[in-house]
């Protein structure tokens, strides 16, 4: 863990020297929120305010996913191509330390993305209907899920050798994860095949949990399912990423 934290600090120094590198974590979620609220709000919920209350928790989860997708998968691929991971391989450190360090450093991106969405949402009318503790729980749950899912992007960055291909896969994979949940429209209005995907989409459980924690409603069961998904993602993809790292470097 000490080695992982040291390597996480390296990634944080990179962000400090190039703050524009986290602009995607700010611009994309705000853009999605503005588009959905003002284009679909009146048609789906009858008013932009009602739609904002319903949609912002989903955008919060989407923000954490997008913050980890680009940074973890693409930046990892770039580092490997530059040869820095060969240097890590020569050091007396655990093979998992560079990967864990990369995931831990991205927590700053999650915090920036979530804080931006909540601030912008408040400015255009979103209000938390529960307690500050519940709101904090929603933020922590969202970050935990985003970091767990980022192990999938770590594995992708290690398996695919071309950075451009990694970028393309990351950009395309956001659609089934983000739009295959109860974000733009209620699930019961979707076709049967898409409803089936929504029910098994891991992002859906986290979104439902955040919605319950931020604006009220059932949350306990969804929180439990989201945590199970988070643990499962780490258990499955973290070891596979370490194996891929050993073979790649």
Over residues 104-108, mean pLDDT: 83
Backbone dihedral angles phi then psi of residue 190, each to the nearest 5 degrees: -90, 160
Structural contact between residues 157 and 77, judged by C-beta atoms closer than 8 angstroms? yes
Q: Is the pLDDT of residue 134 over 70?
A: yes
Q: Is the pLDDT of residue 44 over 70?
A: no
Q: Residue 33's closest CA among 59, 70, 7?
A: 59
Structural contact between residues 168 and 188, judged by C-beta atoms closer than 8 angstroms? no
Structural contact between residues 106 and 22, judged by C-beta atoms closer than 8 angstroms? no
- Give the pLDDT of residue 95: 76
Over residues 92-101, mean pLDDT: 81
Q: Burial of 47 by CB count in 10 Å (0-12 exposed, 13-18 middle, 19+ buried)?
A: exposed
Q: Is the pLDDT of residue 70 over 70?
A: no
Least confident of 84-88, 118-122, 217-221: 84-88
Any idea how long the chain is? 249
CA-angle at 196, arms to 240 and 229, nearest 5°: 35
pLDDT tens-digit series, residues 196-225: 888 888 888 898 899 889 988 787 888 999
Q: Is the pLDDT of residue 67 over 80?
A: no
Q: Which residue has the tokens 């450190």?
A: 93
Q: Is the pLDDT of residue 228 over 90?
A: yes
Q: What is the average pLDDT score of the chain?
A: 82
**Alpha carbon distance 241, 152 (integer Å):** 8
Q: Is the pLDDT of residue 42 over 90?
A: no
Structural contact between residues 10 and 98, judged by C-beta atoms closer than 8 angstroms? no
pLDDT tens-digit series, residues 14-29: 777 777 767 777 788 8
Q: Is the pLDDT of residue 248 over 70?
A: no
Q: Is the pLDDT of residue 52 over 90?
A: no
Q: Residue 64's closest CA among 115, 98, 13, 15?
A: 115
CB atoms within 10 A of CB 99: 26
**DSSP string computed for 73-109:** IIHHHHHHHHTHHHHHHHSSS-TTHHHHHHHHHTHHH
Grouping H, G, I as helix, E, B as strand and the rest as coil, residue 51 is: helix
């Amino acid at each position: 863990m000490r080695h992982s934290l040291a390597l996480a600090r390296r990634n944080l120094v990179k962000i400090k020297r190039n703050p524009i590198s986290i602009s995607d974590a700010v611009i994309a979620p705000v853009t999605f929120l503005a588009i959905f609220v003002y284009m679909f709000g009146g048609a789906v919920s009858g008013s932009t305010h009602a739609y904002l209350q319903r949609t912002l928790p989903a955008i919060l989860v989407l923000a954490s996913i997008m913050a980890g997708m680009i940074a973890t998968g693409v930046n990892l691929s770039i580092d490997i191509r530059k040869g820095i991971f060969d240097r890590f391989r020569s050091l007396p450190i655990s093979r998992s330390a560079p990967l864990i360090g990369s995931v831990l450093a991205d927590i700053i991106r999650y915090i920036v993305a979530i804080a931006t969405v909540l601030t912008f949402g408040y400015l255009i009318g979103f209000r938390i209907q529960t307690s500050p503790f519940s709101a904090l729980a929603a933020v922590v749950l969202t970050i935990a899920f985003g970091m767990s899912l980022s192990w999938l992007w770590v594995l992708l960055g290690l398996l695919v050798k071309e950075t451009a291909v990694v970028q393309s896969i990351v950009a395309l994979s956001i659609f089934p994860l983000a739009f295959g949940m109860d974000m733009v429209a209620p699930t019961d209005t979707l076709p049967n095949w898409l409803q089936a995907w929504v029910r098994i989409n891991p992002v859906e459980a986290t979104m439902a949990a955040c919605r319950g924690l931020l604006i009220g409603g059932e949350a306990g069961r969804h929180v439990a399912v989201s945590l199970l998904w988070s643990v499962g993602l780490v258990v499955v993809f973290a070891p596979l990423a370490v194996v891929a790292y050993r073979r790649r470097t």
